[in-house]
Structure 1
Amino acid sequence: MTIRSILTCLLNEPSAARLSEAGSALAERFDAHLVGQHTMEAVVIYPGIAMHVPGPTFETFNIAQREEGEAIEKVFRSVTERRGVNAEWRFVRADATAASDRMIDSARAMDLVVMGRPDKAYDRADQRYALDRVIRDGGRPVLLIPEEGMGETVGKRIVLGHAGTRESTRATFDMLPLLHKGADIHIVHIGDEVDELRDSAMTDISTTLAHHGHNVTMTHRVPHGKSVAEMLIHEANEVGADMIVAGAYGHSRTYAFFLGATTGGLVEHSKVPVLFSA
């Protein structure tokens, strides 16, 4: 399987160029169709609140939304035309639902989704949890592009977080189309315990990846008080990885809220792209 369709979710103008460049580079590499999408926010009037919203207020709001969409579209088209990729622009109305719902609808028809990390300075209220929701509910792998960008070598040297979970397994196989021939894959398990069954599972995964023609190493790291996210990022720095691959949200939302989560740590702190699967 290869990548033939890519969705780039463009939430705001400041990040549009970076994400458009990343999406275009991938579309160019795989000869894929790239979709750039921005969602127009809806004016929500909550039931039970008696208030009159004048027509000009709606119009002013809609004009501002259209202008923002046009500015993002201009950036997207500028990048894709310069790189000569097969690209499509979508300006989608949220209507009565959240912006993330529209992104999820589009993501489910794509091979890969490209997004940036949440930005409190620019993201609208209805966009604030877009990345979280698309990863959780989109059913497709999501490639997070940090502020540092993607780089031209992504897919040559990988740190793969192994957790023995469904999500970790999905991430392992979702990354395969992104890999260059003969990629270096560093499989890392982080934990204090010794587990023969886990080590056997890592060996099996290593063998399967080697059958795809990749160079695979396995490592067990003891965290010594550090989080799993910190350890994976450290490992990526140590080996010069151009991408981290990890299963996302292997625990409940309650667990993630109270104890912190590997996913959130990678989203917030990684300086290289991270491929998430849930």
Structure 2
Amino acid sequence: MLFGRQEEAARRGLFPEKREATMRAISNIVNATIGADEPLQTVTVGRVAAASYRDLLSIVDGSATDEAVLAHAESIAETFDAHIEVMLANEVPSPAVYAAEGLGPTYALIEAERETRDAKADALRQRLEGIDRRHDVRRCDAYPGELQRLAASLSRCADLTIVSRPYGRQHHDATTLEAVLFEGGRAAYVVPHEPCKPVLPEVVVVGWRDTPECAQAIGAAMPFLQRARQVYLVSVTEGEPAEARRQEPMADMVRHLARHDVKLEVRHLPEWSHPADALLNEGRMTGAGLIVAGAYGRSRLREWILGGVTRELLKRSELPLLLAR
């Protein structure tokens, strides 16, 4: 082990005998691995390795919004050569539901529910026959609370979880999304309901705040950010900006993204009273294909009672969202 000046000298190559011995050892290992008669491939050092998604989780429930989720999953999987794990979340009615309606969980009712779940599974298998990507189906028949626990558990073993946007049509709450973000501790890619032909986003808007949630979202979005033609790092000023206090968290993030070869432009938006309005407007004005943001910077209860950026984005965004916390 080298210390002090010796370490610096070794780094600068002032110990040629040790340097040559190290290079010989590396050469011997490579030759033993690929064969001495095979040509040694040149490896370029110093270029940033592109981040990627290799394992995707798509959560569907047999509703009309499944098509959008699967279409986005297929597009992302094709771009990154990823595997798709599809979770079919079949909600089993609790006995309390029958009791509230004055019914008993008779055999006929239970059998009808089972047939409905079987039909959803058959329809999903037929839909997936047209996907030319590696995929598996995980059918989960469970009570609502158990479904959220399973979604969180599966999301921990995926690079990105793809879900439908809540607060619209057949989706009235965000329990599955929140399970992925809070219990799973993973990022979620939230797709709008409208079926479309998804493409890799060429323009991405990143909502910046100096918070752990935002940093997690940027890290999770790195494969998209590196491949985008343009990324806008957008700061919506709420009160005195950090730069006015001689702090530079945004400048630090700019340097961090530049080191990852992200093509970046910084925008400060001081005239907006609500950050969600600013981000949605910026997405429309720039022609963005994706909005990246930290989720639930304050408690879910306060978001529900007082409103918040996450809830407003989920209710109103027509663009895919990548959220993390």
TM-score strictly above 0.5: yes
1:157-211, Cα deviation, whole Å (9 max, x unpaired): 2111111111011111111122344642211111242322586110110011011
Cα distance in 1 for partners of 2:191, 2:57 equals 13
Cα distance in 2 for partners of 1:185, 1:272 equals 15
Deviation at 1:3, TM superposition (A): 1.0
Structure 2 counterpart of 1:62, from 110, 114, 131? 114
Contact 1:107 1:113 in 2 (8 A): yes
Deviation at 1:72, TM superposition (A): 3.0
Structure with larger RCO (C-alpha < 8 A, sep 6+):
1
Deviation at 1:56, TM superposition (A): 2.1
Higher mean displacement: 230-239 or 214-223:
214-223
Counting only pairs closer than 5 Å after superposition, residues 196-211 of structure 1 correspond to structure 2 as 196=243, 200-211=248-259
Computing the radius of gyration from Cα coordinates, the structure with the larger value is 2
Cα distance in 2 for partners of 1:13, 1:236 equals 28
Contact 1:21 1:79 in 2 (8 A): no
1:192-245, Cα deviation, whole Å (9 max, x unpaired): 4232258611011001101111221212112443x2111001111111211110
Shift in alpha-carbon separation, 1:19–1:182, aligned structure 2, 3 A: closer
Contact 1:120 1:128 in 2 (8 A): no
Q: Give 1:39's aligned amino acid.
A: A
Cα distance in 1 for partners of 2:252, 2:197 equals 30
Contact 2:61 2:90 in 1 (8 A): no
Structure 1 vs Structure 2: percent identity of aligned residues? 24
The two structures have a TM-score, normalised by structure 1, of: 0.87
Deviation at 1:68, TM superposition (A): 2.3
Corresponding position of 1:228: 275
Corresponding position of 2:161: 113
Counting only pairs closer than 5 Å after superposition, residues 126-165 of structure 1 correspond to structure 2 as 129-148=175-194, 149=196, 151-154=198-201, 156-165=202-211
Contact 2:272 2:278 in 1 (8 A): no
Corresponding position of 1:98: 146
1:19-77, Cα deviation, whole Å (9 max, x unpaired): 1111011111111110111122223224xx797422222111111122123223322x1
Contact 1:114 1:143 in 2 (8 A): yes
The two structures have a TM-score, normalised by structure 2, of: 0.75
Corresponding position of 1:184: 230
Match status 1:246 vs 2:293:
yes
Cα distance in 2 for partners of 1:78, 1:198 equals 57
Cα distance in 2 for partners of 1:170, 1:198 equals 24
CA RMSD of aligned residues (A): 2.4
Gaps of 5+ in 1: none
Cα distance in 1 for partners of 2:311, 2:143 equals 29
Contact 1:7 1:36 in 2 (8 A): yes
Contact 1:24 1:79 in 2 (8 A): no
Cα distance in 2 for partners of 1:161, 1:250 equals 12
Deviation at 1:133, TM superposition (A): 2.7
Match status 1:32 vs 2:82:
yes
Q: SS state of the match for residue 14, structure 1?
A: coil
